[in-house]
């Protein structure tokens, strides 16, 4: 572990994500100097857990503190860019929750501010650190299902009243920068990029709204085409993001994420978030010539701790985080393309050519 006892951090936004960032930073030996929230009780609950952390109701005071090296932004989406740029301009490294920003102009302003300040801008995109997805990435690279042709992801959620009461900003389309395609879809676009590479084109449609108190989409669907290679067309994907999917699991709170990838030699399925079911026609995976179900269980890991360890390593050696703002702009571009397509009745939207 990096010796991080001399690193000071501020948590800005002390709700669900702020609590997780605080625990993960503290577990890595970082000193929490400030817990900031407009809701003082939320700031206090973090400050009391990690003394001698102090509380504030505005981020301004914490940015003047020379002992703060890095700020964790766990704020409503519309605040990521203005507070992130203020922190970078004050010479702090910034770890920002997903999405990087509310739109691409804001994202570019943040990336420019990080370059100007020569500080790290990293997105807390935890799917990139999830051992389940890293294992599937390795299996695909080993060619166990050959060249993938189709990927299907479904984010099954049922919108809890308590979720909205805890997060009134999520009802407001501007403050949330959209709805479930932004908040959940950004994870899934990033997972697909990790597994299948660059996205070329997105089409999307919004379903009839069930939760009228929410302005953004509560259910939407995207159709995705990946970039081809070696003169062959790229794979295609479907992405379903929904707060309407009621069953005994989702109605009690947890989300269910299912993933299925089909390739020329076999298929990978994940139905419970942790177990990979692999069916392959590759000779070494077909003992006796019989099709087998290969079951690979991947234990859960606290991805917030892993990503903060990565941030500290990047701060120590000056390397670019794997989820830097510059790299995560691509996932935001895919979500923005989905919203543009929804506004244009499902028309295909082509993404810009990827930079290196």
Ligand X SMILES: NC(=O)c1ccc[n+]([C@@H]2O[C@H](COP(=O)([O-])OP(=O)(O)OC[C@H]3O[C@@H](n4cnc5c(N)ncnc54)[C@H](O)[C@@H]3O)[C@@H](O)[C@H]2O)c1
Q: Which residues bind ligand X (CB under 6 A)?
A: 12-18, 36-39, 42, 59, 74-77, 79, 97-98, 124, 126, 166-167, 183
Query: What are the start-end ranges of the H helices in the chain?
Result: 16-27, 40-49, 60-63, 80-89, 104-117, 131-142, 161-166, 173-176, 180-183, 185-196, 303-317, 325-343
Burial level of 150, CB count in 10 A (0-12/13-18/19+)?
Answer: middle
Nearest CB to ligand X, comparing residues 98 and 206: 98
Instruction: Name the residue nearer to ligand X (CB basis): 96 or 140.
Output: 96
Minimum CB distance to ligand X, residue 94 (Å)? 13
Q: Smallest distance, Å, CB 13 to ligand X?
A: 3
Least Å distance, CB 156 to ligand X, is: 16
Q: Of 19 and 28, which has the nearer Cβ to ligand X?
A: 19
In terms of CB distance, is 162 or 355 closer to ligand X?
162
Q: 121 has which bridge partners?
A: 94
Tokens representing residue 227 in the block: 């970039």
Q: Quote the least distance from Cβ 109 to ligand X, whole Å.
A: 17
Give bridge partners of residue 158 from the DSSP assignment. Answer: 244
28 SS3 class: coil
Q: Between 281 and 302, whose beta carbon lies closer to ligand X?
A: 302
In the chain, % helix, strand, coil (3-state, to 5) comes to 40, 25, 35
Residue (76 or 263) nearer to ligand X, CB? 76
| Helix, coil or strand: residue 78 | helix
Residue 143 — left, alpha, or beta (φ > 0 → left; ψ -120 to 50 → alpha)? left
Token digits for 132?
């389940």
Contacts made by residues 247-255, CB under 8 angstroms, sequence distance 24+: 247/156, 247/158, 250/156, 250/157, 250/158, 251/158, 253/160, 255/155, 255/156, 255/157, 255/184
- Give 39 or 320: the residue with its C-beta nearer to ligand X: 39
Q: How far is the CB of 169 from ligand X (least distance, A)?
A: 6
Closer by beta carbon to ligand X, 25 or else 79: 79
The nearest distance, CB 232 to ligand X, in angstroms, is 34
- Start-to-end CA distance of the chain, whole Å, equals 30
Cβ–Cβ < 8 Å for 218, 164: no
Least distance (Å) from ligand X to the CB of residue 76? 5
């Amino acid at each position: 572990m990096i010796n991080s006892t001399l690193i000071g951090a501020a948590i800005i936004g002390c709700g669900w994500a702020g609590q997780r960032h605080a625990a993960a930073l503290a577990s890595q030996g970082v000193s929490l100097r400030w817990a900031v929230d407009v809701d003082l009780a939320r700031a206090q609950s973090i400050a009391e857990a990690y003394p001698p952390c102090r509380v504030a109701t505005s981020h301004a005071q914490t940015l003047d503190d020379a002992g703060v090296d890095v700020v964790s932004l766990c704020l409503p989406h519309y605040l990521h860019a203005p507070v992130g740029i203020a922190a970078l301009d004050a010479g702090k490294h910034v770890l920002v929750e997903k999405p990087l920003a509310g739109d691409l102009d804001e994202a570019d302003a943040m990336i420019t501010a990080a370059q100007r300040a020569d500080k790290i801008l990293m997105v807390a995109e935890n799917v990139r650190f999830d051992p389940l997805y890293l294992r599937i990435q390795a299996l695909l690279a080993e060619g166990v299902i050959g060249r993938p042709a189709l990927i299907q992801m479904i984010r099954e959620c049922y919108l809890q009243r308590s979720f909205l009461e805890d997060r009134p900003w999520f009802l407001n389309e501007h403050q949330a920068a959209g709805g479930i395609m932004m908040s959940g879809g950004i994870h899934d676009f990033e997972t697909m990029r990790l597994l299948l590479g660059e996205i070329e084109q997105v089409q999307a449609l919004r379903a009839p709204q069930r939760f009228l108190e929410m302005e953004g989409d509560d259910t939407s669907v995207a159709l995705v085409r990946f970039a081809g290679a070696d003169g062959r067309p790229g794979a295609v994907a479907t992405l379903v993001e929904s707060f309407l999917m009621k069953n005994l699991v989702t109605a009690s709170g947890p989300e269910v994420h299912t993933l299925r990838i089909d390739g020329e030699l076999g298929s990978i399925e994940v139905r419970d978030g942790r177990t990979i079911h692999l069916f392959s026609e590759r000779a070494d995976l077909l003992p006796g010539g019989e099709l087998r179900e290969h079951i690979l269980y991947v234990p859960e890991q606290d991805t917030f701790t892993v990503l903060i360890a990565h941030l500290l390593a990047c701060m120590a050696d000056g390397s670019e985080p794997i989820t830097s703002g510059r790299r995560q702009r691509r996932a935001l571009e895919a979500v923005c393309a989905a919203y543009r397509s929804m506004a244009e009745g499902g028309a295909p939207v082509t993404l810009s050519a990827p930079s290196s």
